[in-house]
Amino acid sequence: DAVASALARPRRLLSLLALEPAPLLELLKEARVKGSASLHQGAGRPAVVFEEATVLRVVAHRPDRLGSKYLKEKYKLSKRLKA
């Protein structure tokens, strides 16, 4: 029981990390407007709600160009770290 509860949060994040760039950005756009967004996982499984900050961190850590472009435009974030 303790192991299952400890793994609950990482399992939620895995569903977010597994998304392709376009659906992930749609989720971020929804979260930006509403403060959170729901990821529907399929029939019989409840939707998982993510806060904007969580989705933003996932997009920021991905190497794809689409996410980088969106972050630069909407959040004024650079993909490169300043030294």
DSSP output for the chain: -HHHHHHHHHHHHHHHHTS-HHHHHHHHHHHHHHSEEEE---TTS--EEEEHHHHHHHHHT---HHHHHHHHHHS---SSPP-
Q: What is the pTM of this model?
A: 0.82
Delimit the domains of the chain by residue range. 2-75
Provide the CB-side half-sphere exposure for 81 (13 A, CA).
2
The string of pLDDT tens digits covering residues 37-57 is 999 877 888 889 999 999 999
Structure tokens belonging to residue 26: 């749609």
The string of pLDDT tens digits covering residues 72-83 is 999 987 766 666
pLDDT at residue 14, as a whole number: 92
